[in-house]
Amino acid sequence: MRGLPLAAWAYVCGVVALAAAVIATSSFTGVDWTKLAVLALLFLICDSAPARLNVERARVSLSFAASLAGVVLLGAAGAALLGLSALVTGQRFFAPEKRAFNGAQFALSGFCAGTVFDLLGGDRFHPEQSRWVENVIGPFLGALVTFVLVNLLLMAGVLLLSRQAAPRELLHESGQLAVGCLGYGMVGLLIAGLWPRIGAFAAVLVLLPLFIARWAMDQAYVQQQAHAATLAALCQAVETKDFYTRGHSERVSRGSVMIAQEIGMRADRVEAIRYAGMLHDVGKLGVPTKVLQKSGSLTEEEFAAIQLHPMRGLEIVREIGFLDEALAGIMHHHEKVNGRGYPMGLAGDEIPEFARVISVADAFDSMTSTRSYRAARTVAEAVAELRRGMGDHFDPVMVEAFLRALDRDGWEPPRPVVLPDDDVVETTQQDHDDPSAPLRVAGDEARR
């Protein structure tokens, strides 16, 4: 937070001053201080263990539940005071200006939400009356939406002014955040509803399952990371034999994701294509090493062995359940739009979308990597080759998308291969991925 721009400093000071003014001018005659103390404790416990959403940096904590319970139980002034307790949060950042801003921000959100709740008539009902839930749900929803809106807007302001985030990504992330906040906020109503009967024990009953859910989510996250790491390591193991193709899977995966995002695929499909790109060549292991190492033309049988590798790959990964759509991508990544590819000779739209994406990334990485029979081509040369193959080999939509993404994000080609000095190094002489140097098959020079 050091080196904050002047505008951000002014903004933070303004928010803090506003919160201070609101608290200074409110009257606290009706506030139940024991309730406030217990809720503040609850708030701090929840705030010290924020949940991890899949958005980087952003964390939603269950403290939203405590705040909203405060809105119902304590009224606007009490909720503002409750928000102030964020000043002493147990989260591990100690910058005083961050704490001040957080406290002020929660106080303001709580005050606004409380005001809306009272305006909509929520304070006229008491949980011990009959039909309390039905009566209070409307005002509560109003208060909840206000709370989340004020909270997100104040946060967005500081992130924008301190240039920690661009407006575009903020919009993208706040959608997810808002859902998490609204969900957690609803829990506040549950706590408030049970409070008159069983006191703070209501919070235990409500929050215990949520903390366990949080723990399970964290476990799931850890497992997912482990899964991705294991997959990458195993793919790497498959590649280690050939110095020239090391890292190929990783880069094809990256390229495929670039295209997928550019053409606006859904997040779960992007995730699937990430794995598909990684796994697209595992079947190459089924191609005898001597075929890959052969220099000169291949016989028909040897070419057939190479053509079979997508099927062998499919054979390996078929049982991985999450890959449903990705399987088609792996199997058909060597089909060409003109129908002259393999293994099935599909053409145009018959080729699955995943396969058309992977095909472009695959060819591009192959061309920009060093091969035993040629040096790496430059990105510009490879782009020209992709353009030449548009509509013939590649799907023009995918190529265009890739080139746009390339312009924006750039591409880091693999470092030149340095072969170790000993003689045992194995290198391949045949690269089936390279569209600029098609496999040479004896007796059929025209095959491409």
Partner 1 sequence: MSSTQIRARRERAAWQTIDSGQLLLIATAGLFVVVAIAEVAAAGLRQPNVAIIFGVLIALGELFRMVMPGNREVAPIASAGAMGYALLVGIGPEGAPPDAPLGVVPAEHSPLQVVAVTSVGMLVGSLPHILVGRSPRPDAMARRLFTVAVVALCFRPMLTLGLPWQLLLAVMGLVVVLSCFTDVLIAAMIRAEAVRARFGIALRDEIDAKMALCAATSATAMLIAVATTAMGEAALLIFTVPILVTQFAFRRYAGIRATYLQTVRALSRVTEVGGYVETGHSRRVSRLSVAMGRELGMSEEELLELEYAALMHDIGQLSLGDPIPGGATVLASPAEQRRIAELGAEVIKQTGVLDRVAHIVQLSSHPYRTGPEALGGPGEAERPAPVPPLAGRIIKVANAYDDLVGDSADRDRGAAVLERLRLDSAAEYDPTVVEALSRVVDRRPRP
Q: Which of 119, 285, 346, 417 binds partner 1 (CB under 8 A)?
A: 285
Rounded-to-integer distance, Cα 42 and Cα 40, Å: 5
Residue 79 contacts residue 114 (beta carbons within 8 Å): yes
Closest Cα to residue 354, out of 385, 327, 386? 327
Q: Which of 241, 269, 404, 440 binds partner 1 (CB under 8 A)?
A: 241
What is the contact mask toward partner 1 in residues 172 to 201, using x (rule: CB under 8 A)? -----------x--xx-xx--xx--xx--x
Q: Coil, strand or helix: which one is 120?
A: coil
Ordered DSSP codes for 54-113: SSSS-EE-THHHHHHHHHHHHHHHHHHHHHHGGGG--SS---HHHHHHHHHHHHHHHHHH
Shortest gap between Cβ of 432 and partner 1 (angstroms)? Answer: 16
Shortest gap between Cβ of 55 and partner 1 (angstroms)? Answer: 16
Shortest gap between Cβ of 202 and partner 1 (angstroms)? Answer: 8
Q: Which is nearer to partner 1, 111 or 147 (CB)?
A: 147
Q: Which of 240, 416, 420, 446 binds partner 1 (CB under 8 A)?
A: 240
What is the contact mask toward partner 1 in residues 388 to 427, using x (rule: CB under 8 A)? ------------------------------------x-x-
Q: What residues numbered 310-369 form the site for partner 1, per CB under 8 A?
A: 312, 315-322
> Dihedral, CA atoms, 236, 239, 244, 246, nearest 10 degrees?
-10
Rounded-to-integer distance, Cα 104 and Cα 16, Å: 5
Residue 223 touching partner 1 (CB under 8 A):
yes
Shortest gap between Cβ of 74 and partner 1 (angstroms)? Answer: 20
User: How many residues sit close enough to partner 1 to count as binding (CB under 8 A)?
Assistant: 66
Rounded-to-integer distance, Cα 184 and Cα 106, Å: 15
Residue 205 touching partner 1 (CB under 8 A):
yes
Tokens of 28: 């606290």
Cis peptide before 139 (omega within 30 of 0): no
Q: Which is nearer to partner 1, 152 or 194 (CB)?
A: 194
Q: What residues numbered 427-446 form the site for partner 1, per CB under 8 A?
A: none
Find tokens 């990504």 and name the residue.
Answer: 169
Q: Coil, strand or helix: which one is 250?
A: helix
Residue 130 touching partner 1 (CB under 8 A):
yes
Tell me whether residue 91 is exposed, middle or buried, using C-beta atoms within 10 angstroms of its C-beta: 0 to 12, 13 to 18, 19 or more.
middle
Shortest gap between Cβ of 216 and partner 1 (angstroms)? Answer: 4
Find tokens 């080759």 and name the residue.
Answer: 385
Residue 304 touching partner 1 (CB under 8 A):
no
Rounded-to-integer distance, Cα 411 and Cα 400, Å: 15
Select the span of 18-26, 94-102, 208-216, 408-416 touching partner 1 (CB under 8 A).
208-216
Closest Cα to residue 97, out of 28, 204, 4, 21? 4
Residue 354 contacts residue 361 (beta carbons within 8 Å): no
Residue 38 touching partner 1 (CB under 8 A):
no
Residue 212 touching partner 1 (CB under 8 A):
yes
Angle (nearest 5°) at CA 84 between 81 and 87: 160
Q: Which is nearer to partner 1, 123 or 315 (CB)?
A: 315
Q: Which of 18, 156, 160, 210 binds partner 1 (CB under 8 A)?
A: 210
Tokens of 58: 């952003």
Shortest gap between Cβ of 289 and partner 1 (angstroms)? Answer: 7
Q: Which is nearer to partner 1, 204 or 375 (CB)?
A: 204
Shortest gap between Cβ of 448 and partner 1 (angstroms)? Answer: 27
Residues near partner 1, by CB under 8 A: 127-134, 183, 186-187, 189-190, 193-194, 197-198, 201-202, 204-206, 208-210, 212-217, 219-220, 223-227, 229-234, 236-238, 240-241, 282-283, 285-286, 288-289, 312, 315-322, 424, 426
